[in-house]
Amino acid sequence: MSQSLNDDLNRFDHTVDPEMDNSAYTLGPLQAGPPCCHPRPLIRVEHLSVRYGEKPALEEITLDIHRGCITALIGPSGCGKTTFLSVLNRLTDMIPGCRVAGRVRMGSTDLLHPALDVQALRREVGMIFQKPVPFPLSIRRNIELSLLEHRITKRSELDGIVEQVLTDVGLWNEVKDRLNAPAPALSGGQQQRLCIARALALEPGILLMDEPCSALDPIASGVVEDLIQRLRGRYTVIIVTHNLAQARRIANYAGFFWVKERAGTLIEFGQCRQIFESPNQDLTAAYVSGKRG
Amino acid sequence: MPEATAHSIAPLGITRDRLATFVIWSAALLVTGLFLWLISDILLGGITRLSWAFLTEPPFDAGRSGGIGPIIVSTGLILLVAIAASVPPALGTAILLAEFSRRESLFGRSVRLSLDVLAGVPSIVFGLFGNAFFCIYLGLGFSILSGGLTLACMVLPILIRTAEEGLRSAPDDYRLAAAALGLSRSAALMHLLLPTAMPALIAGLMLGIGRAMAETAALIFTSGYVDRMPDSLWDSGRALSVHIYDLTMNVAGGDANARAAALVLVVLLLLVNGAAMTLADRWRNARIVTA
């Protein structure tokens, strides 16, 4: 049973568009992503509800995440955006008393299936946290740790991956002479980029980002934002942000969450421009214009 | 007090602060002074007797003359048995408690309660238990093995509780981030959580070794009194603390050698401490760099 699930997962390894030049060593200059006017759903979420014990956290969420696009989730604190992200990589499994109902599928894979290989899922779906969490290890070992678990042990191969992902996040030139220095000694912005590099090393198709810039100063935040822009196309990014301007700048799609009857729910989902410029719901209009929230 | 008059705001607070400073300093000085007194007393009383011969020769005339060679060997063997028998189950239990059970679960609470009760049991009770169980029931007799296993039971609660607290002090962010990277729980434990908890684990081990080395009551009934060189772990062997106790309480004219033996015990403790700290540092540097 779980073997077939794994096969399903593996089919999603190749999220790089074939027409894109992926021989480029870095992700290249800042670029607009592929036009998302032909949306191809990668993850389909239907009637998703999450409860912590008796307390409902999310109620009846239905939306599609499109391949290669940046999807921003906006809304006030406590409306379940982070919970939504942790359903997608099954970090909800680690929360005692957390119950998830509904359907979340990636292709034909049921992501909520109890027998799903969650380790394989989490390699496919990387996650960046709000506060950078560099492990108290060297910069190099922070990246290698998960690769070793992945049975990659050849020195040359490891070195190649370390250099590539650090280049991808624009950190290589800053740290190439001190790869053995402790990662927690890096600045906040560098730490967050290291965490992104660490996630990229596993070659995920999807990146979940939980307010990746909110713990950073404006300049570091700008650097990370540019980086996220460059991930578009190669990776499917779902980003939770409280920074509406940021969501507007980088996202192709936006979902607006709100708390209704003490449970988070999705008010509106659509193309980012539509959500910000011509929202269908009054609540969305009030929130994006700053009148509420 | 010029400050008190210059700042008319809360002069009482300043006086109180000074009083507190005085009390704290004198308490610290008192403790340090007591420690220095104790060390110098042992040092002055014991250093004249100390020699290579004293460390290697067997005791003569019930310990009034001769050395403590076999006693050091027995002490080391008892300690090795105790560490070998207690560390693996302690680590396992601590990992189970800290990583695989919830703090407030019934299982965790009952295990913790029994450990706390065990930690408070007087060592003489452990001695009687060890005698009844290891010496008689398991038929190990008065032996280094019996003594070491009894000490292992005695230090188990300390080891488990310190190791558990050490593991719990590793931030949950590490566990989440490791899980999000697809690391298995055992990999996160091996490469991240245990190294992070290493200082606490070592501190617990030091506490345990300290208690085991200084133990007398639990050993009298289990590893016995015999002061010749042990042939094997099934032989009876006299620990340093038992030797010191015997020389001071039972042997007239054994005081000088008792002090020398006490000095050796203190130095050994410091050495073990230092070695463990160095080892822990090296282990940590091999796997982990802390900022």
Determine, yes or no, domain membership for A155: no
> Chain B partners of A89 at a C-beta cutoff of 8 Å?
180
Integer angstrom CA distances of residue A80 from A52, A56, A107, A183:
11, 10, 24, 31
pLDDT of A277 reads 84
CB within 8 A of B112, min separation 6: which ones? B97, B161
More confident residue, A68 or B85: B85
For residue A110, count CB atoms less than 10 angstroms from its CB and return exposed for 0-12, middle for 13-18, buried for 19 or more: middle
pLDDT of B286 reads 63
> Chain A partners of B102 at a C-beta cutoff of 8 Å?
96
Interface ipTM = 0.81
Inter-chain touch A136–B288, beta carbons under 8 Å? yes
> Chain A partners of B195 at a C-beta cutoff of 8 Å?
136
Task: Please name which of B237, B52, B75 lies closest in space to residue B141, comparing C-alpha atoms.
Answer: B237
| Contacts of the segment B102-109: beta carbons below 8 A, 24+ positions apart | B102/A96, B103/B168
Chain A residue with the nearest C-alpha to that of B195: A136
Inter-chain touch A136–B290, beta carbons under 8 Å? yes
Q: Residue B42 is encoded by which pair of tokens?
A: 């042992």
Give the pLDDT band of residue B181 (cuts 50, 70, 90).
very high
pLDDT of B4 reads 47
A216-229 average pLDDT score = 87
Q: In sequence order, what DSSP letters do the residues of B7-47 get, joined into one string?
A: --S-HHHHHHHHHHHHHHHHHHHHHHHHHHHHHHHHHHHHT
Q: Residue B256 is encoded by which pair of tokens?
A: 């000088």
Three-state DSSP state, A258: strand
> Chain A partners of B180 at a C-beta cutoff of 8 Å?
89, 91, 122, 126-127, 129, 199
* CATH at residue A104: 3.40.50.300
Inter-residue contact B170 to B190 (CB < 8 Å): no
Q: Residue B87 is encoded by which pair of tokens?
A: 């560390």
pTM for this entry? 0.77
Task: Please name which of A144, A161, A123 lies closest in space to residue A10, comparing C-alpha atoms.
Answer: A123
pLDDT of B288 reads 61
Q: Is the dihedral of CA A233, A234, A237, A241 positive or negative?
A: negative
B70-81 average pLDDT score = 93
What is the Rg, in whole angstroms, of the alpha carbon atoms belonging to chain A? 19
Angle between helices B255-287 and B69-99 (to 10 degrees): 40
Chain B residue with the nearest C-alpha to that of A183: B291
pLDDT at A61 over 50: yes
- The proportion of chain B whose per-residue pLDDT surpasses 90, expressed as a percent, equals 43
CA–CA separation, B30 vs B249, rounded Å? 29
pLDDT at A181 over 60: yes
Task: Please name which of A103, A126, A100, A110 lies closest in space to residue A15, comparing C-alpha atoms.
Answer: A126
pLDDT at B130 over 90: yes
CB within 8 A of B144, min separation 6: which ones? B74, B77, B78, B81, B223, B230, B233, B234, B235, B236, B237
C-alpha distance from B289 to closest chain A C-alpha (Å): 5
A130-147 average pLDDT score = 90
Q: Residue B32 is encoded by which pair of tokens?
A: 């340090």
pLDDT at B87 over 60: yes
Q: In sequence order, what DSSP letters do the residues of A129-188 get, joined into one string?
A: -SS----SSBHHHHHHHHHHHTT---HHHHHHHHHHHHHHTT-HHHHGGGTTSBGGGS-H
More confident residue, B120 or A289: B120
A227-233 average pLDDT score = 86
pLDDT of B195 reads 85
DSSP A93: G
pLDDT at B52 over 60: yes
Phi-psi region of B287 (alpha: psi -120 to 50; beta: other; left: phi over 0): alpha
Three-state DSSP state, B180: helix
Question: Could you write out the three-class secondary structure of A235-257?
Answer: EEEEEECCCHHHHHHHCCEEEEE
CA–CA separation, A142 vs A138, rounded Å? 6
Determine, yes or no, domain membership for A37: yes
Judged by a CB distance cut-off of 8 A, whether residue A6 touches chain B is no
DSSP A96: T
pLDDT of A36 reads 54
B19-41 average pLDDT score = 93
CA geometry: angle A173, A174, A178, nearest 5 deg:
105
Determine, yes or no, domain membership for A43: yes
CA–CA separation, B229 vs A207, rounded Å? 66
Chain B residue with the nearest C-alpha to that of A134: B174
A130-152 average pLDDT score = 88
B159-185 average pLDDT score = 91
Most confident of B3-12, B145-154, B208-217: B145-154
User: How long is chain A?
Assistant: 293
pLDDT of B289 reads 58
Task: Please name which of B133, B144, B135 lies closest in space to residue B234, comparing C-alpha atoms.
Answer: B144
Helices (H) then strands (E): counts for chain A: 11, 10
At which residue do the structure tokens 């109902």 appear? A101
Domain extent at residue A255: 2-19+26-130+205-215+223-288
Judged by a CB distance cut-off of 8 A, whether residue A234 touches chain B is no
Lowest mean pLDDT among A173-177, B38-42, B196-200, B257-261: B196-200
CA–CA separation, B53 vs B260, rounded Å? 12
CA–CA separation, A40 vs B112, rounded Å? 54
Out of A127, A180, A184, name the one closest to residue B291 (CB).
Answer: A184
What is the Rg, in whole angstroms, of the alpha carbon atoms belonging to chain B? 24
Q: Which CATH superfamily is domain B52-287 in?
A: MetI-like (1.10.3720.10)
Determine, yes or no, domain membership for A90: yes
Lowest mean pLDDT among A113-122, B10-19, B54-63, B153-162: B10-19
Inter-chain touch A146–B183, beta carbons under 8 Å? yes
Determine, yes or no, domain membership for A140: no
Mean pLDDT of chain A: 83
pLDDT at A29 over 90: no
pLDDT at B200 over 50: yes
Give the pLDDT band of residue A27 (cuts 50, 70, 90).
very low
Residue among A10, A87, A133 with most chain B CBs within 10 A, to mutate? A133
pLDDT of A273 reads 84
Inter-residue contact A171 to A132 (CB < 8 Å): no
Window 34-63 of A: residues touching B by CB (8 A cutoff) are none
Integer angstrom CA distances of residue A198 from A4, A30, A106, A120, A215:
28, 21, 23, 16, 18
Domain count, chain A: 1
Determine, yes or no, domain membership for A234: yes
pLDDT at A240 over 70: yes
pLDDT at A162 over 90: yes
CA–CA separation, A36 vs A271, rounded Å? 9
pLDDT at A28 over 50: no
Domain positions in chain B are 52-287
Residue type, B27: A
More confident residue, A70 or A8: A70
Inter-chain touch A133–B196, beta carbons under 8 Å? no
C-alpha distance from A290 to closest chain B C-alpha (Å): 32
Inter-residue contact A213 to A243 (CB < 8 Å): yes
pLDDT at A19 over 70: no
